[in-house]
Homo-oligomer: A and B are copies of this chain.
Amino acid sequence: MTDLVGQAHQRASALLRRWVAETHTPVAEGSLRLTIGPLRVGTEVVYVSPTGAHGFGPIHVLDGGGEPVAVADAGLLAAACSAEARARALPDAPINAPESGTLVDWVLDALPRGGVDPLGWPDDLVAVARSISDAAEAQRWLTAHVESRLLPAVLGWDSGDLAAATATLLTRGVLAVIGVLGRCGVVHESQLLDELAARLRGIAETHPAVQRLVQHWLGSPTVTDLAAVNGSELRYRSESGSVAVRAVPFEVANPLAPDAPDVPGVPLPELTEGWSLRPVRLAGGDVELVHRWMSTEHVAVNWNQAWPLARWRDELAGQLAGRHSLPCVVGLDGRDVAYLELYRVRRDKLARCYPYDAHDLGVHIAIGEADAIGRGVGTALLRAVAQGLLAADPQCRRVVAEPNVHNGASVGAFAKAGFRRDREVGLPGKNSALMVFDRR
């Protein structure tokens, strides 16, 4: 009889690894505590992987006081992930249709078959990952793999679906194997990643026909992977009712991309048509104003940041000291009505979610004065801010925002202001509609 406890941990780890990747949750070595739907989970991150192949210690369910009370097994994690993914998605999303099934259906179906991951890889890659036992062997495998398998596949690529080719050949191919070799301590992932990048550059030089695909792999800040535990379009049952994971694409940080060139902090936009805007001042009442706005019900319900005054003072001082985001107070016809956070996507959590440009800017908005809501005020402000940001940074090609998909009023206001709905992205705690205002 095989090591069932080890297998149970493997299975739970695979689900946790997916959840972390698919919700774009940052991971660092040490203690990791997560809330997955109705479940609080704690573990030790024992290996942080650039390809997402993180290694976890025992995964526990935590009680209200944060103490471990049970081993978090696959069935339970699947149920919690499903409950969460369904709650984040809109009621009419495919994942909320009863006939779509849940991740638990997959677990019930997979266990007797020995399935570990809702999206297993090709058998030969699994065999490879298991057979290699030292760094030299790993290097030889990579060389052979690129020559005999990746290159022919890339050359045979029909220039159609960039995302599908990336998922099949890169993230769920060579990168997946590199991740497992790293996690198992066979080799440093960065060593194989450097080697792979060098070989890909060689391919691009020698074969101009496939430059587009290879450059995408080498340069894009994110690459496409397949999601199986989070995403509103997921299904776990085919139309005939049999269990089959229908995965959906999502973007994941690209471990092959070089560090992006530096970009300046957030520029101060000039607003038109009666609007004024100033960075928050730490003295003179702005902190109190933001604190008051954040405590009002209509703001708190979406921002969930009804913090004490002292915490807001720290938060604002921190933002003002850095180059990630710029907190601002907006006035309309001389009266302060709204709070804005303008941010560089490159320094934001959104950088893990879509293939951004280095100069992309983002905006969070809270209209603090309840009587200023409605009559298109928000829409007008968003348009003015987007236009102001594009004017303030000539290299910026787009302004983005990420309202909760459940916040129809906000999504609608962005849409009316000229933002297009690009995609739905999973984040820790919500599914966001990525709204994009392109430079025209």
Contacts and interface: CB of A to CB of B under 8 A. Distances in A.
Given A79-B75, A104-B79, A108-B80, A68 B4 contact: yes
B108 A83 contact: yes
Nearest to A96: B98
A70 B6 CA distance: 10
Nearest to A104: B79
Interface string A326-369: 00000000000000000000000000000000000000000000
Contacts of A63: 112-114
Interface in A59-90: 60-64, 67-71, 73-80, 83
A8 B61 CA distance: 11
Nearest to A76: B75
Contacts of A93: none
A73 B104 contact: no
A8 to B, nearest CB: 6
Contacts of A105: 38
A5 interface: yes
A107 interface: yes
A10 to B, nearest CB: 10
A109 interface: yes
A39 interface: yes
A292 interface: no
Interface in A286-314: none
Interface of A, helix, strand, loop or mixed by DSSP: helix
A69 B8 CA distance: 10
B107 A69 contact: no
Nearest to A58: B4
Interface residues of A, number: 40
A1 interface: yes
A7 interface: yes
The number of times this chain is found in the oligomer is 2
A40 interface: yes
A128 interface: no
B111 A70 contact: yes
B80 A112 contact: no
Interface in A17-36: none
Contact of A112 (B40, B83, B107): B40
Contacts of A2: 69
Nearest to A62: B112
Contacts of A37: 108
Nearest to A68: B1
Given A98-B98, A112-B63, A107 B40 contact: no
User: A11, A73, A74: which has the most chain B beta carbons within 10 Å?
Assistant: A73
Contact of A75 (B4, B7, B75): B75
Nearest to A109: B38
Given A75-B79, A79-B75, A98-B98, A69 B108 contact: no
Interface string A236-263: 0000000000000000000000000000
Contacts of A98: 98
Interface in A93-120: 98, 104-105, 107-109, 111-114
Contacts of A74: 70, 73, 75-76
Given A4-B69, A76-B108, 4 more contacts: A64-B112, A69-B114, A76-B111, A98-B98
Interface of A: 1-2, 4-5, 7-8, 11, 37-40, 60-64, 67-71, 73-80, 83, 98, 104-105, 107-109, 111-114
27 contacts: A1-B68, A2-B69, A4-B68, A4-B69, A4-B70, A4-B71, A5-B5, A7-B69, A8-B70, A8-B71, A8-B73, A11-B70, A39-B108, A61-B111, A62-B112, A63-B114, A64-B112, A64-B113, A75-B75, A75-B76, A75-B78, A75-B104, A76-B107, A79-B79, A79-B104, A79-B107, A79-B108
